[in-house]
Amino acid sequence: MTLHPQGKEGVNIETDKYESMRRALLKVIPGRTASVPFKSLAKLVEPHLDPVAFPPQASRVWYVTAVKQDLEARGLIEQVPGLRPQHMRRAGGGKS
């Protein structure tokens, strides 16, 4: 079960899909001095995803959103304040 940054109910994701997406997102989201647009994440994670968990025809956008929200709720990544469209970067600390 994932966490949600606004305290809403999370979603259930298969462990292999969650771990693959988590690793991929943490590879492509830069540190605190840079950021990446949220809308670019689905394309950026593609080469980093486990092909068994995410075959080519699999929809990735829902998983990007759900796992991104979980990582935000855990304090590992954050939205850059004041930047629109939404940009993501690594957070300073966090609870894994």
Number of domains in the chain: 1
Structure confidence at residue 96 (pLDDT): 43
> Domain span at residue 56?
15-85
In a domain, 53, yes or no: yes
Residue 94's pLDDT band (cuts 50, 70, 90) = very low
In this predicted structure, the answer to whether residue 35 has a pLDDT above a threshold of 50 is yes
Q: Is residue 94, in this structure, part of any structural domain at all?
A: no
pLDDT band at residue 78 using 50, 70 and 90 as cut-offs: very high
Residue 5 resides in a domain: no
In a domain, 4, yes or no: no
**What is the DSSP code string of 26-77?**
HHHS--TT--EEGGGHHHHHGGGS-TTTS-TTS--HHHHHHHHHHHHHTTSE
- Cα distance between residue 72 and residue 5, in whole Å: 6
Whether 22 is covered by a domain: the verdict is yes
Is the model more confident about 60 or about 94? 60
Q: Is 1 a member of any domain?
A: no
To the nearest whole percent, how much of the chain has pLDDT over 70?
Answer: 96
Task: State the pTM of this model.
Answer: 0.89
Assigned domain for 35 exists: yes
**The two structure tokens encoding residue 94:** 């966090």
The Cα 56–Cα 7 span in angstroms is 32
As a whole number of angstroms, the distance between CA 80 and CA 84 comes to 9
